[in-house]
Structure 1
């Protein structure tokens, strides 16, 4: 609880942004440590201005943090500070991750995640892409992350729930506010079967400033962003740009050049986005789509050593040194890995192993 309160308190200090906060945590490990660090040490590492902001902060901010925490309990919302092990690992990697996340529902399944975004005023083409490709993604266990906005976001959330999939909605406002209000039932269903996320304090209303911040979280949470349909000037392209800046994959579908609601799609492809024409195309770029846990072990009759290595690798590309370290001499790593490559369970590139 103290770490949550300390993180909230720092988030309320005007003048300390997400980039500075991340660097403070990297240096001092926890928000509690930051608040307990003396002026000289803060000044030496982050300058006099930051040191002044922290040491001479308004003492009422602690009371404000406590009230925020009490609201979270009231609304059945978890507050996850950046320093927590439960904070999404991919989101931690971006330059300006939120200091805290407000979470309603179960935050999991991010190892096989994809962001899906698009215009509010979609065409029949956008509807077709959602009902065909996004539907297949959901059926194959991909976590669909979107923004609960009208249009493509809403369609993506709904088709995922319809297919009994897992979806995450990232809000551009406080987690206690439903926007647009027409999505109230969808909000409630996602909070029960998936997860709602916001970085904004309770009561924060949506604005032209909050939505771009929301978009960076959508991009930062996942391995890639799939733009369904976007005009030339679109928030979806902002999300795609964030994904590209973070080194994540950007996907889109080619569009008719006369379709004004999707001119951004073709612009993205010109800039290097991966064109998608069917669900199968994703298998070339998302390794977790090629592994189905429910029947894989039965078909291949994996040994305990092979199962252990699959657990170590997960859905990532893992370097051989990490695998050796995890095995810790329990068995001959190279023999087992070679056998798994021969079986077609794993592939290897320059010492990195991943599911085939």
Structure 2
């Protein structure tokens, strides 16, 4: 067994996460030497419990890292070590980075310019529309969108990036053979073709609840900042935001409607100092000193000032946007009435209204009613 195989095996041992793995490697140097140590040495040098020390030393006789490596190779999955030169630099820089990453797809140098977009699984139409709009616009500017493939906001952000022809990375809280949620298998495959799907967990690891905080740490670690679109008081997106702060990342928050359950967490973030954003360009302006693009990779320099302005031209070249705008006047109009006037679907209308609302030209009222903003 060589060092790489030993590292893969150590990652397969239940109860050995990034922190314990790092302690073991610091204490013994070589992954192979860990499995040659006496149980008491594992306890004394790395702080393992006697039970966990016995699990580690029993692993070579119970698990087969070579079979894991071969299985990954057959599935087109690369098992990346933190010692590899192309291991993501931003992830390597966080406290206790994962020593092993399973990657299906390609992690490219341009993925250093990444933003995480996270939020509620039970997202509202407003939240979904916002995630799509931010994901699409930021992808067009050359940012890679990182999220967790979960239902709701994550799915909307990934889809927006894919539809915009941009890059996206999905970070799973399970092994790459246990796609979760199962209904996103098609998106998983598309992201693997056009971006990358990553996990720190062995191939057949199920989506256990304790995996997701570790997954969230990777989402923020791969990113220059984290945008929280919608989050309840107990949302996992708040864990990602906390990880981002611990890692020195910027946290952005899209304000939610007061009184809505999905708005409580994100509004609390703003109260606690997260950067309130209303337009994608505000994120770009904040992150600009941290971003580095090769020629032709981004429209950031040429368009942020023009596209990111507070003004909006009523002669927008997009016909559907003009139709929605012309259906509004000084009195609140319910979204059903807007749909009747324009012939557009509710999701299409909501996506346009969110964009106009974030530009400050449309005002939202309770009960899904909208009006032109007189100010």
TM-score where L is the length of structure 2:
0.70
Q: Residue in 2 aligned with 1:157? A: 158
For 2:77 and 2:291, the matched residues in 1 are separated by 34
Q: 1:12 to 1:54 in 2, by over 3 A?
A: farther
For 1:255 and 1:12, the matched residues in 2 are separated by 41
1:77 is displaced (CA, Å) by 0.7
1:255 is displaced (CA, Å) by 1.7
For 1:8 and 1:73, the matched residues in 2 are separated by 13
> Structure 1 unaligned runs (5+)?
301-356
Q: Residue in 2 aligned with 1:69? A: 69
After superposition, the C-alpha distances for 1:191-224 in whole angstroms (9 at most, x for unaligned) are 1001011111122111222222211211222121
Q: Residue in 2 aligned with 1:196? A: 197
Counting only pairs closer than 5 Å after superposition, residues 308-319 of structure 1 correspond to structure 2 as: none
For 2:70 and 2:263, the matched residues in 1 are separated by 44
Q: 1:271 to 1:59 in 2, by over 3 A?
A: closer
Q: Residue in 1 aligned with 2:22? A: 22
1:288 is displaced (CA, Å) by 5.9
For 2:281 and 2:133, the matched residues in 1 are separated by 11
Is 1:265–2:266 an aligned residue pair?
yes
8 Å Cα contact 1:135/1:160 also seen in 2: yes
TM-score where L is the length of structure 1:
0.74
After superposition, the C-alpha distances for 1:36-85 in whole angstroms (9 at most, x for unaligned) are 679999788546969x9399812635851112112112211111122222
Q: Residue in 1 aligned with 2:103? A: 103
8 Å Cα contact 1:13/1:53 also seen in 2: no
Counting only pairs closer than 5 Å after superposition, residues 245-284 of structure 1 correspond to structure 2 as: 245-284=246-285
SS at match of 2:162: helix
For 1:216 and 1:286, the matched residues in 2 are separated by 20
Cα RMSD over matched residues? 3.0
8 Å Cα contact 1:169/1:190 also seen in 2: yes
8 Å Cα contact 1:146/1:170 also seen in 2: yes
1:246 is displaced (CA, Å) by 1.8
1:258 is displaced (CA, Å) by 2.8
8 Å Cα contact 1:112/1:288 also seen in 2: no
8 Å Cα contact 1:227/1:252 also seen in 2: yes
8 Å Cα contact 2:128/2:152 also seen in 1: no
Q: How many residues align?
A: 296
8 Å Cα contact 2:39/2:57 also seen in 1: no
8 Å Cα contact 1:171/1:214 also seen in 2: yes
1:179 is displaced (CA, Å) by 1.4
SS at match of 2:204: coil
For 1:128 and 1:173, the matched residues in 2 are separated by 27
1:295 is displaced (CA, Å) by 5.5
Q: Residue in 2 aligned with 1:90? A: 90
